[in-house]
Structure 1
Amino acid sequence: MKLPIVAYGDPVLKKIGTDIDKDYPELKQLISNMFDTMYYANGVGLAAPQVGLPIRLFIVDTGDDDNGKPGYKRVFINAQILEETGEAWSFNEGCLSIPDIRENIMRKPNIKVKYFDENWVEHTDDVDGMPARVIQHEYDHIEGKLFTDKVSILRKTMLKGKLDAISKGNIQTDYKMKFPNKSKKR
């Protein structure tokens, strides 16, 4: 089932997610729904806050590469980034909660991340390159941060009108969204 994606401006996107346990209600179905939602919206990652849930859960699927080699696909529950190393590099990032805005964001290329998968198996992985970047982006969501928080104050000021329009629902997307400041028509 495709879930509505919460738009910029919703308070849930600024909350630090809480840990969950094995008894979290309908967790397998939630994970399945998140993958359906992410694929439908053509994303490579999706965090629970983006579907309105302030919990420490996100998914990543970088897709197959140009040679058909399988991409990096994982479920991250209660993730903790333990280490970020290497020389930071810039990449033009976007976000399903902030459609039509892309910005160059600096991130380190190597991370060590500890998490549980969907079967509650604990992992500590060293990840690099694009999968590391996607993990960092989604991890920011469960920490109550958005990629727009990483741009300069001047750039954020320049984006203010677009961000306000997104929160009010004055945009078009190919996927269902929930807008925090959309005016109710009478």
Structure 2
Amino acid sequence: MILPIVTYPNKILKTVSAPVTEFDEALHRFLDDMYDTMMLSNGIGLAAIQVANPIRALILCIPDEEGNQSRDRLIEIINPVIHNPKGTTLYQEGCLSVPGFYEDVERYESLTLHYQDRFGNPCLLEAEELLSIAIQHEIDHLDGKLFIEKLSYNRRKKFEKEYKRAQKEKK
């Protein structure tokens, strides 16, 4: 089932998500629905809060070298905790909840991630480059933050102006 994606400035995006405690069939169906929604929307990551479910769950599907995404590349991440972040990098990010806007954001270059899979099993992931960036972006969603909040004051004001203009053009 395709889920509606919550977009800025909806206040639900400011919600801090709660830990997942039930690793049941309902969670599995929800994760499958998140995947279908993300793929239909041409995303590489989606946090549960972006589809109005305030739980600490996110999915990622980083494209391969040819730019293809397939279900075998899907990573389902429940209750993530970042450890050992290293270095910094600048990457132009976009977001399904802030469609049409892209900005350079500074993130950790690499990290270690502790999380659980859909069955509640503990997992460990060493991430760098785009995977590291995507993990941080999606965890920000779980913490009630959007990538635009990481922008400098001037860039944020520019974003707000462009966003308001785009909203007027839609009407």
**Distance in 2 separating the partners of 1:122 and 1:169:** 47
Instruction: Assess if the C-alpha contact under 8 Å between 1:98 and 1:163 holds in 2.
Output: no
**Distance in 1 separating the partners of 2:69 and 2:51:** 29
- CA shift, 1:125, in A, is 1.9
- CA shift, 1:120, in A, is 1.4
**Distance in 2 separating the partners of 1:32 and 1:95:** 20
How many residues align? The count is 170
Instruction: Assess if the C-alpha contact under 8 Å between 1:46 and 1:58 holds in 2.
Output: yes
- CA shift, 1:170, in A, is 6.1
Gaps of 5+ in 1: 172-181
- CA shift, 1:129, in A, is 1.3
Task: Name the CA shift for 1:12/1:69 in 2 (closer, same or farther; >3 Å).
Answer: closer
- CA shift, 1:67, in A, is 8.7
Instruction: Assess if the C-alpha contact under 8 Å between 1:7 and 1:97 holds in 2.
Output: yes
Gaps of 5+ in 2: none
- CA shift, 1:161, in A, is 3.0
Q: Which residue of 2 aligns with 1:81?
A: 82
Instruction: Assess if the C-alpha contact under 8 Å between 2:7 and 2:97 holds in 1.
Output: yes
State the TM-score, normalizing by the size of structure 1: 0.83
**Distance in 2 separating the partners of 1:101 and 1:32:** 27
**Distance in 1 separating the partners of 2:67 and 2:150:** 33
State the TM-score, normalizing by the size of structure 2: 0.89
Q: Which residue of 2 aligns with 1:90?
A: 90
Task: Name the CA shift for 1:169/1:131 in 2 (closer, same or farther; >3 Å).
Answer: farther
Percent identity, please: 32
**Distance in 2 separating the partners of 1:119 and 1:53:** 18
Q: Which residue of 2 aligns with 1:149?
A: 149
Q: Which residue of 1 aligns with 2:53?
A: 53
Q: Following TM superposition, where does structure 1 have runs of at least 4 consecutive aligned residues deviating by more than 6 angstroms?
A: 67-71
Instruction: Assess if the C-alpha contact under 8 Å between 2:23 and 2:120 holds in 1.
Output: no
SS in 1 for 2:36: helix
What one-letter code is carried by the residue in structure 2 that aligns with 1:154? N
SS in 2 for 1:60: strand
Q: Which residue of 1 aligns with 2:15?
A: 15
Instruction: Indicate the RMSD between aligned Cα atoms, in angstroms.
Output: 2.4
Matches within 5 A, 1:1-186: 1-22=1-22, 26-66=26-66, 72-86=73-87, 88-164=88-164, 171=170
Greater per-residue helix proportion: 2
Instruction: Assess if the C-alpha contact under 8 Å between 1:12 and 1:53 holds in 2.
Output: no
- Which structure has more RCO (C-alpha within 8 Å, separation ≥ 6)? 1
